[in-house]
Amino acid sequence: MENNVTTSELRRTSERLNEAFKNPPIFMPYFPLGYPDLETSIDVIEALAKNGADLIEVGLSFSDPLADGPVIQSATQTALENGITVRKSLEALAELRRRGVRIPLVLMGYYNPLLAFGLERFVREAEAAGADGFIVPDLPPEEAAEFEAALSGSSLPLVRMLAPTTPAGRMESIAREARGFIYLVSVTGVTGARDSVAEGLADLVGRVREHASVPVCVGFGISTPEQARAVGGIADGVIVGSACVRAIGEAGDKVGAAREFAIQFQKALRERNQRP
């Protein structure tokens, strides 16, 4: 894969993120490449992108996904068993761009596979393939210097994560330095659908916004359009992972399920925006 990234391409990645957040709250589903197989996952992500998703977290599979619950763990394990790799994931990302997917695609994966691939090479090839940023759940800021160095000269942000348990001083420093957007974990624990929106979420988002100059997006535990609508009244973006993977994974027509999932969640957020 060629990696000659032009100035215009660097600018485009930044513009895609900025454009996505012009009309918040935005819908941000997660789906892993390679599940249930590589070609289907590309079709699914394309369907999500063209039917209501404003930004997609594109999953890179890893054998020890500590932040993920059973639904995503099972899906990524299937992807690994089917032979998904970082290389194949980047090629799939480029294919999505060739198919006309224009919304931001942010790669979500764990640090070890990226390190093994080579950080500078990974960033360079991810940008060339059309990535708009990275989420690395197991890479705290104190240990991110090498990855940040690999990002120098790139327009791609390393998206920071915050949680209800983040101490106030640490929350302030991370929020102040955040780029792209902030991924705010709404609850403690791993990913997975919950029955209701976390109590105190509005206060938590408000505390993060006091220090952040980028959008604040909320994930973990959002499983229905109604919950998305509620969170959309608080946050700039609504991240839906396990519910998205489960709904599509259980469907016979996975592309059709992806299309309907995106339509329903986007409709819920749009209705919230249209209220007086």
Query: What residues are annotated to the active site?
Result: 57, 68
Question: CB of 28 within 8 A of CB of 239?
Answer: yes
Decide: 262 and 229 in contact? Cβ < 8 Å: no
Among candidates 68, 45, 117, which has minimal Cα distance to 221? 68
Residue 122: both structure tokens together: 């990974």
**Half-sphere exposure (CA, 13 Å, Cβ side) for 101?**
31
Please give the Cα distance from 29 to 42 (Å, whole number): 14
CA torsion 107-108-113-114 (nearest 10°) is 50
